[in-house]
Structure 1
């Protein structure tokens, strides 16, 4: 591997970008020519000096194109994000980036939803609605401090061409079940108004099997119990996304977006619990209805000719969820029937107002960005549970959070160095109320969060970056809410921990970025009071009951290293001349992109029943251009054995995907054939050590899916995009270059 990587670095350095200087000169002259023409008069799809790139590596972030990437653009946003380089899904379903926790942003705004609600939302967002995804490794002061370590920013804004344009998309999924997901997208531009509307419906069935072999160590002798659960989940959701962009003047825009999602899900489960003296059966159904509404308005203006800009954004989010669970549980030993029924009424309201103001001083190669934000979050959840009795057990949970923030960030270029220094003030006022505890639980956190980064430009193609940032993670409603939802029966409970403290992070990173495709880096995160999902048992319980909850760990350190690089197959198989012809058209190239991760966790103050070993992950994405212009894309991921957070992975987690795509009718019709998890090998085998309980956990989802995708574009496709956005060098992630 080392010799291959060295060869790739030398090859790409000497050939892949050897022509960049000359090309940039040519592009400059071409762009000067374009400026003298009316862009609305250009016909066809001729591109002047523009590269189509599926992936672009910068010192502060990596940007991946989604909409034009056939492997990522079918299915939903969650599927697409999981395939991005450096993104690893933990055994509990959470996402990490190069070993660090992430916050999900959508169109530069942090998502209000968390836990399973966030995963369901991403599953309902179609991938072909996404233009690109930004992987931001060390977000600066302009981003919320409540971002743990990294940010995945999903950009859904789309091109708007003059006139009315449309596309119809259909994904048809085959596994044991066969369900369609149709969608229509309309967009256009008339004078100063551009707009887009997307309407679609998802219908997906899937199966999931979990097996837990659990040892309860508080009993004498130990009690060993096996629990199995098989469920069939039906997800149905209707979504409508619309946005407008009105050009008030040459310097000002106003953007209005509204997103709606209506869900109607069903989960049919069949669970068994067996031990020496236990033979227990629990089956039933959970029906969940939810609705999500998001409204945002943004005003963007360029104040003068020297580049001062002002952005003001208002945002509101209303989310409602109502799961109703009915079950029929039977103890076969005593031949007594039980039931475990429950329902909850969950409401979330989130509002914020923010502004960003940028002042550049080009003469001094210096810029200042400042801004502020006020956020209000309110969560209410009332759960009613009937456990082996017609008497209701009601749990009431209320959460409120007010957050006031201000920041300032300065950038300065000194010769080959670019420095960024930022400071963010955050004032959190949090109140938690639950019927399971007496009184209110209050937190008032007022802190300063600094960030600093330095970039050294070795040459035009290589940068060395060093970063430090301090962050906080307020426990979200999913980790706090004591309501059990539907995950409970005679021997299982599931609840949040209302006593969790905020988590503080110190993030350090050093990285080498080369040639827009290669990065080699390492980061270290020191975490205080980290909150992690765990299985545990009560030491004083009279019978074995497994509790799924969240526990706080006083000290949690993570070291990770990563290496990403391309293998330009065209250079080897087609020669230097043909390779250089395809430089600007990566969608016509044959390549392999490789990402390698190493992660080592160190948890202090907690004894696990197994040794602590580092874990490796490998992922590759390849593209091959076959005869008749058929595009073949292949993706492979493997998370090897080792320790991931508090889990001991005992068998590699892996998945192999393959896709074939062909365009017809002058690119108006696109047809794709896809198979995900070809060998049906994506499963989780892990050990989990908790208080008084050791768990051997197995989970297998219905991950092998065949899909047919059809996209038909119609309307005026000849006119080049007229951009109504105001292009400003405003907020980068904390390490951006000052030009």
Structure 2
């Protein structure tokens, strides 16, 4: 019996092999099409297309749509049932479709279904970082690290982006970055503080554009960061609420709600937070004689206690005037109050490091900021796909009031000194923009537009020493900026090759007026800013590109204001009202390759910046108890060459594990000399020639643990970097977070720890021959623990909103 079974199995096996060998392979065909939203005709990215054999529930083939809503799927000829799905939309089915040759299903329209909002099955989760050839898109909703955080926390988690301890943003090691909100410049006077005020929950995504086209204003030689706020697009009434608390003491409440009908969409985001951010720093300085022998030592320690209470809210309505026209209006309001106590202890030692005395300076600062902005957006779409006219307006006013009382006392005297500083800033800003896009022919597109940006900033700064006004530090700075710009772009695509050529013209009229000293300075200049982008599709999963753009950096705010705070009486920052703009030429070579589980993107970049801003440190000629007062100011004295390469990757080895990483290496060469006459009428020349190399790396891991607990960890390292007058040391930081869905996935509990090892500090060494040798460490914010609870109603956890109609929130460049 066993022999008979063995013979039958052998015969069956050989018959199967013989039949397979004789079978001719069936050539596959390609089925394409485009999926759009029925009402607006907008493309739906990540829609799912599945092919089933007739009367068989098992899927045979399938795929998802690209950012244009298009799909291209290979199948064998036959008769199929086809299912097209997209989250919160009604499923569309095509029954018994005979497909025997390569063909297109044409335009497929899906209709939103409010009844599916609480029952939808998530088929694919959007990755935290989407890598594209011309930009990276960071999706905030899938990042656990920023729950209960702010925009600064969001930016600090993005590959290629770094936020230093004071909130200053840099991209690929370059701090000449333009930050946009919904495609428009922020109306905030202090952008670093404004980014700490907006809750992370209010953001949908952030676009990182390293080499922008002529469509954008030319500001920002290091690239652009476009922060796109949530506006809500789901049908009916839905929303999200987030409550958070943490240590050091912090708590907040925020939420976003929208109600959408056939004719309009109402949306609002509201947020309140109360944050305590204790910090500390110290600077150990060895003061030198002209022959570089030691004069004395001062060891300065600071303890910062900062509290900020802030409200951020917006309310808007999008009107669907007809199928091709929409009009959106919104009011944005921000208000914050801060209390910052800066306690400075200075221990004085003689040349032999024998203790002399201690000085204590306590700077108690109170700040009050308020900003109101009205925005409007009008979009008219024409019959041809992609043919449209967009008109935008933004009108805002902002106030930033700061009042500080400085108490100064020392152990070697009974005299107590009181200084009072008042720094009040008022800004008005109006922005008007128009963009027109006209596709024509096959694979060609023309684009043109205008932007007018008009702003006025008035800074009143006053210093009182023991009740007497110090005229050396008291003045009013009036800054007026009028920039009119015109641009045009032409794009074409021929087979696998595409190109985009652009030219932007900007006419700048800048007034820098010191009203107290009747010093008026007007700078007028106009410039052309060309750009060119070339892309070649090597295959369906790999592309290469080369791009060029010219950019500008205009000095503003603190860089121009020659009157600064006196929290330290021996180390003073002074702005330079005579600064000129810096110009950058940027070239970027990029390559992207996609596999099933891995996306790899790398680029080689070169930047040349003329009239680069550099910070020069020198003696002022004043002394405090025999110690020279040092002044640091920005100056135009150098040409800077920056070259580097970076790579970014997304890797999903398993369904439960996602990794993304970024590595950036760059070399900076500075050429220039700074000459000045010191307080002894001696000509001093400082050589700013310097070559520095540095690198940074970041890796993020997200793992789904048992019981559906998500665990996310990231770590970053910024390597040391030298400068003409010193160097900064390496900084390592790590964050971790856990989250768990509850209440049938309507709620989420999240716990995160920011700066796990309490190691995020700015560490610098500075050396100025014959003046000072110093070492300092600064920690702006200590390790933070945050617990947050998120509740959603009528909204799925991994919401996929249909693409927005406002083209200002994306690159908008020609894609062929």
What is the correspondence of 1:589-600 to structure 2 with a 5 Å cutoff? 589-600=656-667
Tell me, yes or no, if the aligned pair for 2:165 and 2:781 is still in contact at 8 Å: no
Give, in angstroms, the shift of residue 84 of structure 1: 0.4
Give secondary structure in 1 for the equivalent of 2:232: coil
**1:372 corresponds to which of 442, 445, 450:** 450
> Which of 1 and 2 has greater Rg?
2
1:87 maps to which residue?
161
Does 1 or 2 have the higher relative contact order (CA < 8 Å, sep 6+)? 1
Tell me, yes or no, if the aligned pair for 1:27 and 1:49 is still in contact at 8 Å: no
- In 1: Cα distance, 2:766 partner to 2:188 partner: 26
Tell me, yes or no, if the aligned pair for 1:187 and 1:196 is still in contact at 8 Å: yes
**1:565 maps to 2:635:** no
What is the correspondence of 1:643-722 to structure 2 with a 5 Å cutoff? 643=722, 648-650=727-729, 652-689=730-767, 693-715=772-794
2:549 maps to which residue?
469
**1:458 maps to 2:538:** yes
1:494 maps to which residue?
573
- In 2: Cα distance, 1:710 partner to 1:132 partner: 20
Give, in angstroms, the shift of residue 295 of structure 1: 1.2
Superposition CA RMSD, Å: 2.9
Give, in angstroms, the shift of residue 555 of structure 1: 0.9
Tell me, yes or no, if the aligned pair for 1:258 and 1:296 is still in contact at 8 Å: yes
1:308 maps to which residue?
387
Distance 1:536 1:693, change over 3 A: farther
- In 2: Cα distance, 1:690 partner to 1:351 partner: 44
Q: Deviations over 1:560-606 (max 9, x none)?
A: 21111234331xxxxxxxxxxx5xxxxxx302211111121111125
**1:107 maps to 2:182:** yes
1:10 maps to which residue?
none
**2:610 corresponds to which of 528, 542, 560:** 528
Distance 1:83 1:146, change over 3 A: same
Distance 1:92 1:218, change over 3 A: farther
Q: Which runs of 5+ in 2 are unaligned?
A: 1-59, 65-70, 76-81, 86-91, 94-107, 351-355, 674-685
Give, in angstroms, the shift of residue 208 of structure 1: 1.6
Tell me, yes or no, if the aligned pair for 1:296 and 1:314 is still in contact at 8 Å: yes
Give, in angstroms, the shift of residue 93 of structure 1: 4.3
Give, in angstroms, the shift of residue 150 of structure 1: 0.6
Give secondary structure in 2 for the equivalent of 1:336: coil
Tell me, yes or no, if the aligned pair for 1:67 and 1:129 is still in contact at 8 Å: no
Q: Deviations over 1:459-504 (max 9, x none)?
A: 11111111111111110122112232x4445323233111111110
- In 2: Cα distance, 1:722 partner to 1:615 partner: 40
Give, in angstroms, the shift of residue 527 of structure 1: 0.7
Q: 428-437 or 617-626, which moves further after superposition?
A: 428-437
- In 2: Cα distance, 1:322 partner to 1:103 partner: 24
1:626 maps to which residue?
705
What is the correspondence of 1:54-453 to structure 2 with a 5 Å cutoff? 54-90=128-164, 93-100=167-174, 101-113=176-188, 117-175=190-248, 178-216=249-287, 219=290, 221=293, 223=295, 224-275=297-348, 276=350, 279-361=358-440, 363-391=441-469, 393=471, 394-435=474-515, 439-453=519-533
- In 2: Cα distance, 1:529 partner to 1:278 partner: 44
Give, in angstroms, the shift of residue 630 of structure 1: 0.4
- In 1: Cα distance, 2:61 partner to 2:163 partner: 36
Distance 1:278 1:509, change over 3 A: farther
**2:601 corresponds to which of 519, 524, 533:** 519
**1:549 corresponds to which of 623, 633, 641:** 633
TM-score w.r.t. the length of structure 1 is: 0.88
Give, in angstroms, the shift of residue 533 of structure 1: 4.5
Give secondary structure in 1 for the equivalent of 2:620: coil
Give secondary structure in 2 for the equivalent of 1:191: coil
Tell me, yes or no, if the aligned pair for 2:672 and 2:689 is still in contact at 8 Å: no
Tell me, yes or no, if the aligned pair for 1:162 and 1:722 is still in contact at 8 Å: no
Tell me, yes or no, if the aligned pair for 2:592 and 2:602 is still in contact at 8 Å: yes
1:3 maps to which residue?
none
- In 2: Cα distance, 1:167 partner to 1:710 partner: 10
Q: Deviations over 1:684-717 (max 9, x none)?
A: 2112456955542211233311110101122476
Tell me, yes or no, if the aligned pair for 1:92 and 1:533 is still in contact at 8 Å: no
The total of aligned residue pairs comes to 695
Tell me, yes or no, if the aligned pair for 2:347 and 2:358 is still in contact at 8 Å: yes
- In 2: Cα distance, 1:57 partner to 1:720 partner: 20
1:53 maps to which residue?
127
**1:483 maps to 2:563:** yes
Give, in angstroms, the shift of residue 42 of structure 1: 5.9
- In 1: Cα distance, 2:195 partner to 2:745 partner: 28
- In 1: Cα distance, 2:138 partner to 2:323 partner: 30
Task: Flag the structure with higher strand content.
Answer: 2
- In 1: Cα distance, 2:122 partner to 2:785 partner: 38
Give secondary structure in 2 for the equivalent of 1:440: strand
Q: Deviations over 1:62-103 (max 9, x none)?
A: 101002322234311101101100112356642222233311
TM-score w.r.t. the length of structure 2 is: 0.80
Give secondary structure in 2 for the equivalent of 1:307: coil
Tell me, yes or no, if the aligned pair for 1:73 and 1:80 is still in contact at 8 Å: no
Distance 1:292 1:613, change over 3 A: same
Tell me, yes or no, if the aligned pair for 1:139 and 1:149 is still in contact at 8 Å: no
Tell me, yes or no, if the aligned pair for 1:369 and 1:731 is still in contact at 8 Å: no
Give secondary structure in 2 for the equivalent of 1:364: coil
Tell me, yes or no, if the aligned pair for 1:245 and 1:724 is still in contact at 8 Å: no
Tell me, yes or no, if the aligned pair for 2:619 and 2:631 is still in contact at 8 Å: yes
- In 1: Cα distance, 2:132 partner to 2:450 partner: 27
Give, in angstroms, the shift of residue 505 of structure 1: 0.4
